[in-house]
Structure 1
Amino acid sequence: MAAILEYFGTLPEPCPRCVHHVVVAPGTTTYRFKANGLTIWLDTYLDRPSVLAKYMRPEDVEEADYIFISHAHFDHLPGADIIAKKTGAIVIANGEAISLLRSRDVPENQLIPVAGGERIPLFLKADREKAIMGEIEVAPAMPGAPPRPADKFAAMDVHCWPALHCFMPMVDGHPPEYIDSLTDYTGQTGPYTCTVDITNGMKWGIMRLGELIPPEQQDESVRSTIEYCNDREKHLYSHFDGGQMAYNFLIGPGKTMLWSAHMGAYEGVMKRIEPKPDIAVLALAGRANLDGRPFDGSAADFQVKQLNWLGEPATVIWCLHDQCSLRPFYIDTKGADERIHKETKSRVQYLEPTVPFTL
Structure 2
Amino acid sequence: MTQTNLLELARAGDVRAIASLINHQLQPKGITAKATLKDDCLQIMLESAQVPNQQALVTFIRKWITQLGVECIKRVKVYGRLTGDEFPSWSQDFEATSVGNNAQSETSIPSTKNSVSENSKTSTNQDNLKIIASPRIQFQSKTSCPRTYLVPSILVTLFACIPAGLVGISFASQVKSKYQQGDYDSALSASKKAKISCIIGVSIGGFIFVTAFVHGFRQGFQKSIQRQVATRQQSIAPYVPPAVISHPSEYLPPIETYLETNPVHNALSQLDGHAYLMGADNVFLGIISSDRINEKSICNQVGEFGSRVTSKSVWNRVGDYGSRISDTSAYKTNTNQPPIIVNENNEIIGFLTVNTRIKGAVDPDFLHAAMCQQ
* Higher relative helix content: 2
Asked which structure has the greater CA Rg, the reply is 2
* Higher relative strand content: 1
Relative contact order higher in (CA < 8 Å, ≥ 6 apart) = 1
Give the TM-score taking structure 1 as reference length: 0.17
